[in-house]
Chains A and B, each alone.
Chain A
Amino acid sequence: MQSPILKITGLHKSFGDNEVLKGIDLSVNKGQLLFMIGPSGSGKSTLLRCCNRLEEPSAGTILVDGEDLTAPAADLNRIRQNIGMVFQHFNLYRHMSVLDNVSLALRKVQKLSKDQANERGLDALKRVGLLDKAKAFPDQLSGGQQQRVGIARSLALRPKVVLFDEPTSALDPELVGDVLKVMRELKDDGMTMVVVSHEMGFARAAADHVVFMDAGLIVEQGTPQQIFGAPTQPRTQAFLARMSEHSA
């Protein structure tokens, strides 16, 4: 049995009196695509953001490839290199070219030379099919292209796992496909991924494991066939029924 890339144990997170995560245990193996679904406010995004400590967990441990991210002495900036993060609103640096967006951390954190950083940046852009946009600025790109740059930015660091926080929910419907296609290719290349999203079709086709969260807890988890085909928990059933009403 291989050790998981991401292992979350007993994770709690409160904002003031509001307990958003009430004890989450989860592990993601190498090459696995874990898909998280659940109603808004169920804590999915918070869970994801705890996984690179953009949010400070209130309790619990998170191991990234065996390293304790939650230890007080953890070298956060080094460990974060192993965890890519793709944001709902892309969060590209508007004042930099696409290539600089992708290579900034390579130059400043990994201390690569400008040439080496650019080379790796261009490699990452090639993977998302945007090699020709290297010199463009974010505002010149469509939303779908911006999100692919966001993916390239995290890939350039050669992370062990990439976290996707609703990567397509800020996009126009016709642009969603391009982003999902890139994610699918990543998955086929063996990247370990955790995806929070409402793209159920993508989950059915690409996910290895689906987790349904509600009110800060994991209610049910299993293969896409189990969760979408035969959910056992009433809350999962209700949620999926609501979702299919919308897409119908």
Chain B
Amino acid sequence: MDLKALVFSFFNLEIAWEYLPDILKGMVVTVELGIVVAVTGLFFGMLLAVLRALQLKPVNFFIICFADIMRALPPLVVIMMLFFAFPYIQVSMSAFTATWIALSLVLAAFVEEICWAGIVSVPKGQSEAARSTGLNWLQSMLYVVLPQAVRLTVAPLTNRVIAITKSTALGSVVGLSEVLSNSQSAMSNSGNATPLMMGAIGCLIIFIPVVILGRWTETRFRWKQ
């Protein structure tokens, strides 16, 4: 066992100090991207699920196609399409924007399916009761159905949000300087694995609070017995 060599290659303070600014910058990009992807994906996913509940056949056909294709496609391919192929149809975008849009689309597809399952699982009698007291469709959705659907979706939604924000690392293929790609280039430049460990720690710092938040929302939304 060569502890000294292990520390030198993986926990080298000198190298850590040198590359700390790079890693921190990468963390900022990851956090920013994670937040905009989560917000955009959750918003559009929920919107699609509510639209689907309107039961308009052509609209639902489009929504189901979108959800199935986006869930099947590897997110990496979507990012590369947006970044490398779209310039040919005169739509150019930054690496950040391409990753943002691609991951938001994928997240929206999953969120739509999760929320739809949540909406369907609320017994029909709930909206019937609401409608029978004169609430309109949107009101019964907002005040009666969705608050109950959300309870069932919190756990899978949190998992999905964590998974998709972690795939912000895929942005590295189009040159996005997020935390993992910065750690990797620092690792090559320094010939030392310490930056990778820093990247790992950076990810923990970013994602552990998200996991805890998810757990908290789950308890918060439990039924009062």
Q: Contact residues of A with B, CB < 8 Å? A: 52, 54, 77-78, 80-81, 83-85, 87, 89, 91-95, 104-105, 108-110, 137, 139-140, 150, 153-154, 157
Q: A87-B129, A137-B224, A140-B224 are in contact. Are A95 and B134 (CB under 8 A)?
A: no
B139 CB–A CB distance under 8 Å:
yes
Q: Which residues of B contact A89 (CB under 8 A)?
A: 123, 125
Min Cβ gap A89→B in Å is 6
Q: Indicate if the CB atoms of A104 and B132 lie closer than 8 Å.
A: no
- In the complex, chain B residues whose CB is within 8 Å of the CB of A153: 129, 133
- Does B121 count as interface, using CB distance less than 8 angstroms? no
Binds A, one of B9-17, B112-120, B141-149, B202-210: B141-149
Instruction: For the complex, give the distance between the alpha carbons of A83 and B148 in Å.
Output: 25
Say yes or no: is B94 at the interface (Cβ < 8 Å to chain A): no
B134 touches A109 (CB 8 A): yes
In Å, the complex CA distance between A95 and B118 comes to 14
Are the C-beta atoms of B134 and A77 separated by less than 8 Å?
yes
Q: Is B219 an interface residue (CB 8 A)?
A: no
Contact B128 A87, beta carbon cutoff 8 Å: yes
Q: With CB as the reference atom, state the residue of chain A lying closest to B127.
A: A91
Compute how far the CA of A206 lies from the CA of B139 in the bound complex, rounded to whole angstroms.
Answer: 37
A139 touches B134 (CB 8 A): no
Are the CB atoms of A93 and B129 closer together than 8 Å?
yes
- B160 interface contact, C-beta 8 A: no
Contact of B123 among A78, A81, A91, A157 (CB under 8 A): A91
Q: How far is the CA of A34 from the CA of B163 in the complex (A)?
A: 58
Residues of A within 8 A of B144 (CB): 93, 104
Residue of A nearest to B124 (CB): A91
Q: Which residues of B contact A77 (CB under 8 A)?
A: 134-136
- Chain A residue contacts of B139, Cβ below 8 A: 108-109
Neighbouring A residues of B151 by C-beta, 8 Å: 95
Whole-angstrom CA separation of A231 from B2 in the bound complex: 99
The answer, among B128, B131, B133, B148, for a CB contact under 8 Å with A154, is: B133
